[in-house]
Amino acid sequence: MKINDVILRAAAKIVVFIILTFAVYLFFSGHDGPGGGFVGGLMLGSALVLLLLAFDIETITRGLPIDLKIVAAVGALIVVGTGAAALIFDKPFLNMSSFKLHLPIFNQVKISTMTLFEAGVALAVFGVVVTIITSISKDV
């Protein structure tokens, strides 16, 4: 049975953009306030879940260029890698440090290992959440 859900699909396209923008904001505001990689990853996952509700699962999975289990694994590797990188410099595991990088447009940008750690957490959470939701939805 095909349900006529034109309004849901039209609204989902707009709301997903808003959710993705808010997810990026939450990711970058995680150092000084509530948010960070976990919340940003959950928001990214919720945007994809909204698309799954508005469209069918085959359409969404065809639109995803990569397997989300690989995204979750890469995120976990980044998390462990940023923690283990401190051991190379004879620092405790998960010791955070920062450095400045000169970029052509942005001039000097301060890069922290905390940002890389949070990016890994966001990728892992996003991959796991969407994999669980798609696995459950295939059974229904």
* pLDDT tens digits, one per residue of 45-68: 999 889 888 888 888 878 888 888
* pLDDT tens digits, one per residue of 6-42: 888 899 899 999 999 999 888 888 766 667 889 999 9
pLDDT at 115 over 60: yes
pTM for the model: 0.81
CB contact at 8 A, 85 and 2: no
**DSSP label of 49:** H
User: Mean pLDDT lowest for which of 28-32, 34-38, 75-79, 128-132?
Assistant: 28-32
pLDDT at 1 over 60: no
Q: Which of 19, 74, 65, 78 is nearest to 46 (CA)?
A: 19
* pLDDT tens digits, one per residue of 86-110: 888 888 888 888 888 888 877 887 7
Q: Which of 110, 131, 127, 107 is nearest to 119 (CA)?
A: 127
